[in-house]
Amino acid sequence: MENFEPHIKCSRELDVRYAVIPGDPMRVDRIAEHLDNPQLVAFNREYKSIIGYYKGIKVLAISSGIGGPSTAIAIEELKNIGIESAIRIGSCGALLKDIKLGDLIISQAAVRDDGTSKTYIKEIYPAVADIDLLNASIECAKTLKYNYHVGIVRSHDSFYIDDEEKISRFWGSKNILGSDMETSSLYVIGRLRGIKTLSILNVVVENEENTKEGIGSYVNGLDAAVEGEKREIILALETIYKYHNK
């Protein structure tokens, strides 16, 4: 009898080592377009999963919803089913002016300005990417000739607080590249549980652009950020392929 995890509804019977983790369940379908023989595994709450093959390597694509708490659940349960390496593909807002819509940010580390990671361990514990996945992704991005940036991002818990612009300017002044809501939880929990992790982010809001308008245009498919999503999917899959064959 299969032992399914309570939220993601997956089990060790999948026999898979690699996961690609978008936030949006609809993005799972777009990942499936790049896989051979994609098959729906489960769809429960925000966790939609498919399994398929990329250049012969079995890959699980599973959505995690928005924010640290649902990401934490995904990482914990993915560990339980045998996932060894997980790459997040998400969206972010840029905090520096030279980072443009549709550019990719390969996150080497994250500012832990979220709540979830702090419930696991004190802030003195770093949120950093796995070095092997990080290096593989940089090499792949160069080969693919993508516009990309490597550096630190800030993970937080809210889009709409009153002083968001002030906070963004502060972190931008410290050379933080962008902001999202999941990377710090992914890195901290992944490290604690022994999963190699990496976060690749697609810029959907440029520096000092209105957050609501920027995300709205992305959701409606009106700008370069849509192409950025395609690139981050390919980059994540190519990174897995390169890492697997190192």
* Contact indicator for 118, 185 with CB cutoff of 8 Å: no
Domain membership flag for residue 5 = no
Give the per-residue pLDDT at 207: 87
Q: Spell out the residues 6+ positions from residue 206 whose beta carbon is closer than 8 angstroms to its own.
A: 93, 94, 99, 100, 101, 214
CATH number at residue 32: 3.40.50.1580
Does a structural domain hold residue 40?
A: yes
* Per-residue model confidence (pLDDT) at position 201: 99
What is the span of the domain harbouring residue 121?
Answer: 12-244
Residue 128 forms part of a structural domain: yes
Alpha helices in the chain (DSSP H): 25-32, 68-80, 116-120, 131-144, 164-173, 183-193, 211-219, 225-244
Number of compact structural domains in the chain: 1
Tens of pLDDT along the chain (246 residues) come to 579 999 999 999 999 999 999 999 999 999 999 999 999 999 999 999 999 999 999 999 999 999 999 999 999 999 999 999 999 999 999 999 999 999 999 999 999 999 999 999 999 999 999 999 999 999 999 999 999 999 999 999 998 888 988 999 999 999 999 999 999 999 999 999 999 999 999 999 998 766 556 556 555 555 788 899 999 999 999 999 999 998
Assess if residue 2 is contained within a domain: no
Domain assignment of residue 58, yes or no: yes
Residue 187 tokens read as 């890195």
